[in-house]
Amino acid sequence: MKIGATSFKPDRTQQNLLLFSVFFVAAPHLLNLGLGIVLYFSLLAAWRFASGYRPALQPGRLLLFVLTLTGAALVYVDYHRFYGREAGSSLFLVGLGLKLMEMRTRRDVYLVVYLAFFVALTQYLFSQSVALAAYTLAAVGLLISVLIGLNAGPVLSLKIQLKMAAVLVAQAMPIMLVLFLFFPRIAGPLWALPDDPDTAKTGLGDIVEPGSISRLVLSREPAFRVDFEGPVPAPDERYWRGPVFWHTDGTRWTLPPEEGRHDVRAPEFAGTAYRYTITLEPHQNRWVFALDLPKTFPGELSLTREYLLLARQKIGERRQFTITSYPNYRTGELSPAERDLGLQLPDEPSARVVRLVERWRRSSSDPQGIVNKALHHFREEPFVYTLNPPPIPDKPIDTFLFKTRKGFCEHYATAFVYLMRAAGIPARVVTGYQGGQWNPVGQFLEVRQADAHAWAEAWLPGQGWTRIDPTAAVAPHRIEQGIDLDRQWAGQAAGFSPVQRVLSDTALDFHDWYRRVRLVWASIDHAWNQWVLSYNPEHQKQFWEALGIVDWRGLITWLAALSVLCGVLVGLCIRPRRKPETIDPALKAYSRFLKKLAKRGVIKRTGEGPRDFALRAASERPEAKENIGAITALFLEVRYGQQADPSDIERLKQRVKAFRL
């Protein structure tokens, strides 16, 4: 008969610990997988829990076959395939639940535990956050405690199992750290599947229309974080350049074709230079958001004629780039093709737009003067900056300018560009992010999806393409302070609040304390991204060079030295500091039995096993032969038996207590 193939029934405490550990491992997938898959697994786990109290509820082979088909059908209905990130993880979860239902032998229990380890790994396909890493570490500890209890039997209490598992995990940490730092890194994302579709697109899109940016306004999700090597730009200079839109059909603005976009004329830069490292979150596009306007950047990036940085491939993983930007610049002359694109209109402007523009022209023929008139118009007329603008189903420009006058940044940017083109001034719409929250704890700038923004660029003689933000004319606090997400609710007027209040010594309310906690947590998360998730082959090479590792010989030397050090540390940790009998109740009782015999001159020799000692003790003390044999047999059953009953420990204690010579 094969090992582990015999019928096996763990005690109720061990079984409940196993079920809790498995459910604990699977819980994060509630956020990742379809609700039907999660409910199916939960039903199987609850079924198994109930069958522990009523064995008659355990399903037979036919019912297990039906459950298997049902689980496979659920996966296929949700994802229409059995491979990929979501579908593959769902299959693992379904398999784990089914294995719980057919768990009858010791080998089945081992398979459940090992399958749970794989389910824990699949969660890194969805997130690699520091919170998930800590959660997974706790899950691994629980599963190891299950294995400890499975092998030790009922002689170890639940508290001791958990403590031993925690010690084992702690002992593995130095080895894990050495492997992380020195094991050769693989280029590209480790926790990703190449055949997954781009389902994780976040942030800005390739179309601008009413509502395309305002939908992001309540999103706390980070877009990127920035570490500056020197001075930090003022809030009104924090424009992070993204896609530039030229063509409009009157409602939508779309991107230009790729052809000819890399014929760039170098601008003239002046003023302060800002050098920084931007850590981009994956957004499934090639755009790299740089401080307006980038001058130097890595060779793996390219610059379009709209001064947008593009990566070679879509940003499907967290990436870092070091860039130098100048907020003050001149872009030079305008080409005929750019002039045509910058003056494109879908049809003739309405009479009201023509009258408005002509009034500006009569008062100022200078393009800069017309721009100022337009900004004055937005500032003085009753325009409202709101997170919940009314829908505009028809003629969005005219309706916004002359009727609703309520909008978000995309409303103001597109309307301004339309007015400039109607006045004969080339203009275009620029999207990206504006502002960002400075984190004084981690000393970095965090730009969230809520900081998504749209502004305009007009071509002015002697200046070139010039940034003009009509939103700043209507709601200057949006540019200077940013939206206060902690106090903001959808449907309300936009609220603004600087983070400096949180850091002052004034009386703080609940929201301020909540902000402080978020600043600390964001700093921890940023450090995790910088030092762990961004530890790629390039960073590993730099680390090795700092240690003087230039070839494989040096690497092997370091690995050998650190392996010895880890071995010494683990050896010191596992060195017994107290007698084993204080941990194991069976050994503790047997030790009392040996002490009683030793007082009568029967001393256990070094290396002498319990059975051999019992035979010798019985020959020396024949009057206690029966009790010596019974205590020894009971001790061996409790300490080393596969199916020991917890009540046997009490019987052993009572027999040792009653033993007399």
**Local confidence band at 240 (pLDDT 50, 70, 90 cut-offs):** very high
| Closest to 100 (Cα-Cα) out of 56, 53, 33, 46 | 46
Residue 192 lies in a domain: no
* pLDDT at position 211: 77
Residue 287 lies in a domain: yes
For the stretch 417-431, pLDDT in tens is 999 999 999 999 999
pLDDT over 50 at 268, yes or no:
yes
Q: Please list the residues that pair with 280 across neighbouring strands.
A: 224, 319
Q: What percent of the chain has pLDDT over 70?
A: 86
Specify whether 101 is located in the same domain as 178.
yes
Among 481, 503, 525, give the residue marking a domain's end.
503
Q: What's the structural domain count of the chain?
A: 4
Q: Please list the residues that pair with 320 across neighbouring strands.
A: 279
Specify whether 591 is located in the same domain as 549.
no
For the stretch 340-373, pLDDT in tens is 999 999 889 999 999 999 999 888 878 999 999 9
Q: What is the DSSP string of 407-475?
A: E-HHHHHHHHHHHHHHTT--EEEEEEEE--EEETTTTEEEEEGGGEEEEEEEEETTTEEEEE-HHHHH-
The three-class DSSP label of residue 248 is strand
The more confidently predicted of residues 520 and 9 is 520
The three-class DSSP label of residue 324 is strand
The DSSP call for residue 247 is E
The three-class DSSP label of residue 81 is coil
* pLDDT at position 188: 57
Residue 2 lies in a domain: no
Specify whether 168 is located in the same domain as 244.
no
Q: Please list the residues that pair with 437 across neighbouring strands.
A: 446
The more confidently predicted of residues 103 and 202 is 103
Among 182, 216, 247, give the residue marking a domain's end.
182
Give me the mean pLDDT over the 591-618 stretch: 86
**Local confidence band at 59 (pLDDT 50, 70, 90 cut-offs):** confident
b (16+ CB within 10 A) / e for 610-627: beebbeebbeebeebeeb
pLDDT over 90 at 491, yes or no:
no
b (16+ CB within 10 A) / e for 519-557: beebbebbebbbeebbebeeebeeebeeeebeeeeebee
Cβ proximity of 221 and 202 under 8 Å: yes
Q: Compute and round to an integer the Cα radius of gyration of the chain.
A: 35
The DSSP call for residue 195 is T
| Closest to 150 (Cα-Cα) out of 13, 54, 44, 51 | 13
Specify whether 151 is located in the same domain as 235.
no
Specify whether 305 is located in the same domain as 390.
yes
Domain that holds residue 566: 537-574
Among 485, 503, 521, give the residue marking a domain's end.
503
> Cα(384)–Cα(461) distance, rounded to whole angstroms?
31
Residue 52 lies in a domain: yes
Specify whether 288 is located in the same domain as 388.
yes
The more confidently predicted of residues 551 and 201 is 551
Give me the mean pLDDT over the 389-398 stretch: 82
Specify whether 233 is located in the same domain as 322.
yes
**Local confidence band at 143 (pLDDT 50, 70, 90 cut-offs):** very high
Residue 65 lies in a domain: yes
Give me the mean pLDDT over the 48-73 stretch: 87
First to last CA, the chain: 44
Token match 């096993």: residue? 609
Residue 264 lies in a domain: yes
Give me the mean pLDDT over the 571-576 stretch: 66
Specify whether 624 is located in the same domain as 560.
no
**Local confidence band at 500 (pLDDT 50, 70, 90 cut-offs):** very low
| Residue 549 CA to its chain's centroid (Å) | 32
User: For 26-30, 184-188, 386-390, which range has the lowest pLDDT when averaged over its residues?
Assistant: 184-188
* pLDDT at position 576: 59
* pLDDT at position 289: 95
* pLDDT at position 193: 52
The three-class DSSP label of residue 579 is coil
Residue 202 lies in a domain: no
Specify whether 33 is located in the same domain as 95.
yes
Specify whether 264 is located in the same domain as 411.
yes
User: For 427-431, 471-475, 633-637, 638-642, which range has the lowest pLDDT when averaged over its residues?
Assistant: 638-642
Q: What is the mean pLDDT of the chain?
A: 83
pLDDT over 60 at 579, yes or no:
no
Peptide bond into 158 cis (omega under 30): no
Specify whether 338 is located in the same domain as 470.
yes
Cβ proximity of 142 and 26 under 8 Å: no
Residue 6 lies in a domain: no
Specify whether 553 is located in the same domain as 588.
no
For the stretch 274-302, pLDDT in tens is 999 999 988 889 999 999 899 999 989 99
Active site residues: 409, 453, 469
The three-class DSSP label of residue 32 is coil
The three-class DSSP label of residue 202 is coil
* pLDDT at position 501: 45
Give me the mean pLDDT over the 533-537 stretch: 74
For the stretch 188-219, pLDDT in tens is 555 555 445 444 455 788 888 887 787 777 77
Q: What angle do CA 346, 348, 350 make, to 5 degrees?
A: 115
